[in-house]
Amino acid sequence: MEARLMILFTAGTTALLIAISVTLYGAILHYMQGRADAFLADKIQDTRTHLDDPDGAEDVASQLAELIPGGPDYWLRILDSKGNIVAETRGIDERVPSSQFPTARDDAMSGRDFRGGRGRWFSVASQTVTANREKFLIQVAEDRRPDREFLHELRWILRGLVLIGILFSAGMARLATRRGLRPLTAMEQAVARVRAPQLNARLGTQRWPRELAPLATAFDEMMDRLEESFTRLSQFSADLAHELRTPIANLRGEAEVALTKSRNADEYRQVIESSMEEYGRLTAMTEKLLFLARADAEEAEVKPEELDGRAAIDALSEFYEPYAEELGVVLKCDGKGLVKADAILLRRAVANLIENALRFTPRGKEVLVQVADGGVVKIKDTGSGIAPEHLPRLFDRFYQVDPSRREAGTGLGLALVKSIMKLHGGTVSITSELGRGTEATLKFPA
């Protein structure tokens, strides 16, 4: 990246320097050409003015004859209408032959540049003028060697300046990119130091330039999520091992006891029946864990449809009525409204909450399942309530408020409810007050 930035910066500066140099050179060349054209036009006009005077041709010829050869920077020739030379500067033919002058036009100067011998440059011009009622052809040539020498030196100066500018810009680009990328290098080193399980490294936003602060913030937020996920995964692994150890230990213990001596068929049947209960608990735990894994990976299939909420909770109430009677708890249903949800997942979520409410509601109390407009389902009980310190962890996997009652469940029910609501794009919340009961609210999207 550093090399690419240097190349781009240097290339941009080089293009700018070349453009400036070409523009400057073109402007100076245009100025010089304009000055030369103006000089030739001025000489033609002066000569025309002199030719208008009485005896003008003789005077001009006399003046040109008096010029020292090689002295002037320009040469002049005047021809009459028959092509005879009226006057000329001595040595003009040696420098600029007549054939090099452009074809003359009446009252308009024709000009061009001409390269003579020994690399000398000339600007030549021709014009037909009328003076003293006669037509004359005026030819003028100017030595442009000083201008050409200056342009030659200017080209080398500009080339040198461009080269120095390229070297300077490359050095500045190297310095600027190194200083500019230094925070990225520091950020790269900080990121490279991140190792599991130490995921508490944070970049912060104070030490970084304004352009990199959003990147540092995004990285810190990602690390927060990773740390939380890693912590939850570690806790989940420990909890899973603990939960599986108990039923496996029970199964192994019962099998070992049964094998210590020969037993009759009824005793073996009791061992098998006890084992079946543990197998059922393991099966239920496995199914819930598989569902939670699919939900976390967003692989669980959801088919939302508009359902009659009251009909759904009435069906669940009828299913759990015998269990409620066994526990001595009154199960009631109330309200009405439509719920947009997957029918199977809706029943599964509400069933988990009803089962929890019945399990933790004392004999003689009641559990109310209520449906309201807007896709809201509430499950209220009049049990002992939940202490405030437990509320933030209720949806953690394998978490149970009363560890002494682990045989009553796996601690995955509320985690499963939360995953179901997440799949629907809805929310679940639980409020509780000690001594007055607990209320769980499911809010499905409208």
Give the model confidence (pLDDT) of 13-39 as tens digits. 899 999 999 999 999 999 998 998 898
Report the CATH number of the 2-151 domain.
Answer: 3.30.450.20
Residues 6+ apart with CB under 8 A from 300: 291, 294, 419, 423
The answer, yes or no, to whether residue 440 has pLDDT greater than 70, is yes
Bridge partner list, 432: 438
**C-alpha Rg value of the chain to the nearest Å:** 51
Q: What is the pLDDT of residue 441?
A: 92
Scanning the structure block, which residue is given the tokens 């002295």?
A: 71
Q: How many CA atoms lie within 13 A of 200 on its CB side?
A: 2
Mean pLDDT of 275-293: 71
Scanning the structure block, which residue is given the tokens 């209720």?
A: 394
Q: Which one has a higher pLDDT value, 91 or 244? A: 91
CB 361, CB 436: distance < 8 Å: no
Mean pLDDT of the chain: 81
CB 154, CB 28: distance < 8 Å: yes
Q: What is the pLDDT of residues 42-101, one digit of tens each?
A: 888 888 888 878 777 777 777 776 665 555 578 888 888 888 888 888 878 778 888 888
Give the containing element (helix H, strand E) for 27. Answer: helix 2-52
Among 356, 362, 401, 398, CA closest to 383: 362
* Secondary structure class of 388 (helix, strand, coil): helix
Report the CATH number of the 213-296 domain.
Answer: 1.10.287
* Residue type (1 letter), 296: D
Instruction: Please give the Cα distance from 144 to 119 (Å, whole number).
Output: 11
- Give me the residue spans of the domains in the chain: 2-151, 213-296, 305-443
Q: What is the pLDDT of residue 3?
A: 78
Mean pLDDT of 380-388: 86
Task: Give percent of the chain above pLDDT 70.
Answer: 85
Record: fold of 305-443:
Heat Shock Protein 90 (3.30.565)
CA 261 to chain centre: 73
Q: What is the dihedral of CA 166, 171, 172, 173, to 10 degrees?
A: 80
Q: What is the pLDDT of residue 288?
A: 66
Q: What is the pLDDT of residue 10?
A: 87
Instruction: Please give the Cα distance from 125 to 111 (Å, whole number).
Output: 4
Q: What is the pLDDT of residue 370?
A: 92
Lowest model confidence (mean pLDDT) among 166-170, 210-214, 410-414: 410-414
The answer, yes or no, to whether residue 198 has pLDDT greater than 70, is no
Instruction: Please give the Cα distance from 445 to 429 (Å, whole number).
Output: 14
Q: What is the pLDDT of residues 57-67, one digit of tens each?
A: 777 777 776 66
CB 353, CB 379: distance < 8 Å: yes
Residue 83 has a CB neighbour count (10 Å cut-off) of 8
DSSP assignment of 132-177 equals TTEEEEEEEEEE-HHHHHHHHHHHHHHHHHHHHHHHHHHHHHHHHH
DSSP assignment of 70-115 equals T-SSEEEEEEETTS-EEEE-TTHHHHS-GGGSPPPBBTB-EEEEEE
